[in-house]
């Protein structure tokens, strides 16, 4: 047999594995070092009481033959799809149908798998830096990828591509830069997609962290997006579901692509067909847990946790700016994108300005872990990503240590 050679074109090391390796080597040499991670993308706060209660109840249901649930609908239980439709869309003035919603086990699966519906010859655009799943999934399929640099010079707003592209991945609020797009900026992309028969794959995994009024929570707030955009949601960061696993994808029935004979085909039934073949649904327990987020108690408790993380972000940004670092993001997202300072105490001039050199310096001097920006793409060189998902006391301690060395 032959392997899929495209896999050989992927970078062999995964960014977080590299970070873990370096941290573990440092720990071995310095077992006494108390290391604080501001690099992880995982959350630290527990599930809220409303979710725990729902999990207990759902578990008890599984204990008797009358209420036991086996295989569920591949698209998700209607109790959850109805809660999503009402709370995330209808109540915000966005009309969507129940069968536009596909419940999944998190946004990673669907942002990675959705490209299966796309022909091999499509040109794919991704922002740079980028959440690596979009790029890697398309490289596995052998597609041509175009990068759209996002830097302080363009205010982290990707410019419309000069060459034609067929598919555009957008993630706002953005991982890793923590920046957002305004209505007008997002409208330009919807407009581009409509004019060029392109598809936007919009990752809204961090929409719950938006604090400002002028930032869209959903691409469907933009007129015309129902004809050209798919939207991915995740409960991972919103409600601490990184271990429970649940999210959903919205595929309006207006979104179409061309088949080989030039006729138009709706993506919604194609995805339904794909899911029914390859996916057996998210667990009943996870879906009951997700439903509980939409209860009045669940909403209050979840927003308290989001507030906790965003207060971390505010403190981090303020402290780092006070000591003279250039910090982007962090206002409407749990990520801060920090420019590597030009004059640091220990960097050699050769390494100066590099993401990995700054990573080493923070690890060695402050025992603080960050994520090197270059791991998210070439435009990430010269930056590091810090996350606001830490515990408050540990985050404060990490900031104190960084202050000490600068």
User: Which residues make up the interface to ligand PLP (CB under 6 A)?
Assistant: 41, 106-108, 111, 131, 171, 175, 203, 205, 234, 236, 242, 247
In the bound state, the residue with its beta carbon closest to ligand PLP is: 106
Q: Based on CB atoms, which residue is closest to ligand PLP, 220 or 241?
A: 241
In whole angstroms, how close is the CB of 285 to ligand PLP at the nearest point?
A: 16
Please say which residue, 310 or 347, places its beta carbon nearer to ligand PLP.
310
Least distance in Å: CB of 206 to ligand PLP? 7
Cβ proximity to ligand PLP: between 247 and 377 the closer is 247
- Complex with ligand PLP: residue 85 or 108, whichever CB lies closer: 108
- Contact between residue 200 and residue 189 where contact means Cβ atoms under 8 Å apart: yes
CB of 127 to ligand PLP, least distance (A): 11
Query: Do 1 and 118 meet the contact criterion of CB atoms below 8 Å apart?
Result: no
> What is the C-alpha separation between 375 and 385, in angstroms, rounded?
10
Nearer to ligand PLP, 107 or 165 (CB): 107
CB of 204 to ligand PLP, least distance (A): 9
What's the closest the beta carbon of residue 237 comes to ligand PLP, in angstroms?
7
- Closer to ligand PLP at the Cβ: 201 or 366? 201
The neighbouring-strand residues paired with 266 are 256
Least separation in angstroms between CB 367 and ligand PLP = 24
Instruction: At 101, give phi and psi (nearest 5°).
Output: -100, 130
3-state secondary structure of 128: strand
Q: Identify which of residues 328 and 402 has a Cβ nearer to ligand PLP in the complex.
A: 328
CA distances 24 to 284, 351, 364, 373, 376, Å, are: 37, 22, 12, 20, 21
- Specify whether the CB–CB gap between 218 and 89 falls below 8 A: yes
The conformational region for residue 197 under phi > 0 = left, psi -120 to 50 = alpha, else beta, is: left
* Sheet of strand 101-104, all strands in order from the earlier edge strand to the far edge: 101-104, 247-250, 229-234, 199-203, 167-171, 123-128, 144-149
Residues 6+ apart with CB under 8 A from 189: 160, 168, 170, 181, 200
Q: Which is nearer to ligand PLP, 242 or 283 (CB)?
A: 242
For ligand PLP, the closer CB: 191 or 242 = 242
Buried-state track 44-79, b at ≥16 Cβ within 10 A, e below 16: bbebbebbebbbeebeeeeeeeeeeeeebebbbbee
Paired with 385 in beta bridges are: 337, 371
Residue 236 CB, shortest distance to ligand PLP, in Å, is: 3
| Residue placing its CB nearer to ligand PLP in the complex, 231 or 331 | 231
Distance (Å, whole) CA 269 – CA 281: 16
CB of 209 to ligand PLP, least distance (A): 11
Least distance to ligand PLP, CB of residue 344, Å: 28
Measure the CA–CA gap between 235 and 208, rounded to whole angstroms.
9
Nearest approach, Cβ of 37 to ligand PLP (angstroms)?
15
* Whether the Cβ atoms of residue 275 and residue 116 lie closer than 8 Å to each other: no
Task: Sort 278 into a burial class: Cβ within 10 Å, 0-12 / 13-18 / 19+.
Answer: exposed
> Minimum CB separation from ligand PLP for residue 174, in Å?
8
Output DSSP code: residue 172.
Answer: S
Query: Given the complex with ligand PLP, which of 80 and 357 has the nearer CB atom?
Result: 80
Bond into 124 cis (ω within 30): no
């Amino acid at each position: 047999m032959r392997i899929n050679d495209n896999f050989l074109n992927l970078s062999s090391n995964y960014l977080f594995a590299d970070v873990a390796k370096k941290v573990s080597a440092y720990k071995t040499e310095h077992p006494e070092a108390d290391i604080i991670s501001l690099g992880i993308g995982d959350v630290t706060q527990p599930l809220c009481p409303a979710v725990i209660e729902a999990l207990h109840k759902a578990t008890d249901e599984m204990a008797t033959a009358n209420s036991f649930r086996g295989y569920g609908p591949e698209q998700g239980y209607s109790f959850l799809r109805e809660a999503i439709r009402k709370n995330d869309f209808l109540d915000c003035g966005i009309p969507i149908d129940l069968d536009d919603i596909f419940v999944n086990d998190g946004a990673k699966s669907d942002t990675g798998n959705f490209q299966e519906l796309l022909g091999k010859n499509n040109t794919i655009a991704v922002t740079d830096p980028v959440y690596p799943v979009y790029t890697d999934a398309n490289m596995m399929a052998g597609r041509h990828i175009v990068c759209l640099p996002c830097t302080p010079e363009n205010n982290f707003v990707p410019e419309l591509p000069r060459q034609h592209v067929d598919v555009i991945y957008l993630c706002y609020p953005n991982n890793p830069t923590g920046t957002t797009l305004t209505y007008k900026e997002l409208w330009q992309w919807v407009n581009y997609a409509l004019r060029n028969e392109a598809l936007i794959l919009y990752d809204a995994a961090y929409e719950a962290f938006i604090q400002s009024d002028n930032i869209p929570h959903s691409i469907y707030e933009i007129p015309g997006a129902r004809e050209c955009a798919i939207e991915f949601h995740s409960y991972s960061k919103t409600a601490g579901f990184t271990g429970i696993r649940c999210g959903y994808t919205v595929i309006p029935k207006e979104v179409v692509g061309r088949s080989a004979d030039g006729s138009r085909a709706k993506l919604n039934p194609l995805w339904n067909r794909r899911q029914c073949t390859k996916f057996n649904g998210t667990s009943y327990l996870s879906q009951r847990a997700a439903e509980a987020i939409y209860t009045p108690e669940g909403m209050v408790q979840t927003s308290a946790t989001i507030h906790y993380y965003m207060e971390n972000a505010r403190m981090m940004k303020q402290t780092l700016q006070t000591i003279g670092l250039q910090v982007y993001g962090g206002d409407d997202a749990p990520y801060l994108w920090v420019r590597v300072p030009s004059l640091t105490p220990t960097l050699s001039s050769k390494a100066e300005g590099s993401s990995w050199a700054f990573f080493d310096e923070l690890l060695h001097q402050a025992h603080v872990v960050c994520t090197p920006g270059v791991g998210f793409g070439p435009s990430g060189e010269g930056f590091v990503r810090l996350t606001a998902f830490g515990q408050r006391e540990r985050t404060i301690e990490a900031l104190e240590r960084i202050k000490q060395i600068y």
